[in-house]
Amino acid sequence: MNGLQLEFITPPPISKRTLELGVKYSPEFVCMPMKINLGNFIEALEMGADTIVMGGGWGPCRFGYYAQIERDILQELGYDFQMIVLEASDSKTKSLFKQLQSLGQNVSLRQALQSIKFAWDKMTAVEQVEKGLEYYLPRTNKPDEAERIYEQGLKEIIAAVNGRQSMQIARQIVQKMQKLESNSQEPLVIGLVGEVYTVLEPAANYEITKVLGRLGAEVRRTIYMTDWINDHLLGGHVKASTRRQVLKCAQPYLNYWVGGHGQETIGTTVAMARQGCDGIIQIGPLTCMPEIVAQTILPLVSKKEGIPCMTLWFDELTGTAGVQTRLEAFIDMVSRRKYTAGKVEEA
């Protein structure tokens, strides 16, 4: 936005208030990402935003209606703003760039492309730091320090003024994590699959990566932001994509698109089981239709591929203690299973 010479307002990080606002004004049975989004928008409008840029969508799930419903709700609440909806155009990159033109009127095409590249580099840097935490948190005796380094890294990347600097920061942060005292334990490897927003947004998944890391499990996520952008907006041209292989793995179990990432959830569970993961946790917002479809198929995948799977649904009534207890029980079960299979020495 800076590079496009647009003044922007970043809403505050997602908090209890964000969710409360969203819950108060959303239809009761809508999925949690929309409630959080609505809360984000209200907080941004309160801070003076006059334009909202929102992703669009289509297909069997509810995402395609989000932008329109949110716009109507916010207008009824009396906010004065315009909403620009960017329709995610699976592989039709040209049409996406046309939609982006309305945001880039203050700059030349070259400047616009530079801004996009900078945003991409920052996202990649953030993901490297996230991957660093996912890898080193279960391997260190100093989990507080690992999380502190991670938070510091995010702040430094936000402040970075160019792509090269953000990548350099990411490398330094990962090196710092690497130097933390090791706990000399072989962590369990848990695949995290499910609805994309819940997987990507720590506030929506009760910081599941950190909880699992502290329980001695390395999280292998199926999706990062750049993967989604690459697969759905840029035709898979910017970085290597595993989507085709994942959909192939899903074929014997679910051979058609059910909206959202339902098919990917099945495909990635199969792929991760074959790569030697110790367990799979599927996460999603309560009532998420594509993930409900995937959940009904997971027991068969679990049996045939020989991997324990658990599903966790989140909504505004979910409690931190409940999530912690279920994760502890799952990790305990996976760890005993691995031990009895003779794969690790008993601690």
Applying CB under 6 A, which part among 102-110, 228-236, 281-289, 322-330 lies near ligand SF4?
A: 281-289
- Rounded CA-CA distance 191/281 in Å is 6
Q: Which of 23, 43, 62, 157 binds ligand SF4 (CB under 6 A)?
A: 62
- Rounded CA-CA distance 81/94 in Å is 27
310 φ, ψ to 5°? -135, 145
Q: Which of 153, 213, 279, 290 binds ligand SF4 (CB under 6 A)?
A: 290
Least gap, CB of 285 to ligand SF4 (angstroms): 5
Q: Is 63 a binder of ligand SF4 (CB under 6 A)?
A: yes
Going residue by residue from 171 to 200, which x/- string records binding to ligand SF4, judged by CB under 6 A?
Answer: ------------------------x-----
Least gap, CB of 286 to ligand SF4 (angstroms): 9
Nearer to ligand SF4 by C-beta: 31 or 74?
Answer: 31
Long-range CB contacts (within 8 A, 24+) of 33-40: 33/66, 33/195, 33/197, 33/198, 33/201, 33/204, 33/285, 34/62, 34/66, 34/69, 34/70, 35/316, 36/201, 36/203, 36/204, 37/66, 37/70, 38/70, 38/73, 38/74, 39/14, 40/11, 40/14
Q: Which of 31, 246, 254, 294 binds ligand SF4 (CB under 6 A)?
A: 31
Least gap, CB of 238 to ligand SF4 (angstroms): 24
Nearer to ligand SF4 by C-beta: 34 or 44?
Answer: 34
Which H or E run includes 85? strand 82-87
Q: Residue 336, SS3? A: helix
219 φ, ψ to 5°? -90, 130
CA torsion sign, 260 to 85 to 104 to 122?
Answer: negative
Q: Is 35 a binder of ligand SF4 (CB under 6 A)?
A: no
Q: Is 289 a binder of ligand SF4 (CB under 6 A)?
A: yes
Q: Is 61 a binder of ligand SF4 (CB under 6 A)?
A: yes
Q: Is 260 a binder of ligand SF4 (CB under 6 A)?
A: yes
Query: Residue 157 in contact with residue 129, Cβ under 8 Å?
Result: yes
- Rounded CA-CA distance 286/311 in Å is 11
Q: Which of 18, 22, 33, 273 binds ligand SF4 (CB under 6 A)?
A: 33
Spatial CA neighbour of 265 closest among 219, 238, 296:
296
State the first-to-last Cα distance of the chain, in angstroms, to the nearest integer.
Answer: 51
Q: Is 126 a binder of ligand SF4 (CB under 6 A)?
A: no
Q: Is 285 a binder of ligand SF4 (CB under 6 A)?
A: yes
Least gap, CB of 347 to ligand SF4 (angstroms): 38
Q: Is 277 a binder of ligand SF4 (CB under 6 A)?
A: no
Q: Under the rule (CB under 6 A), what is the footprint of ligand SF4?
A: 31, 33, 61-63, 195, 260, 285, 288-290
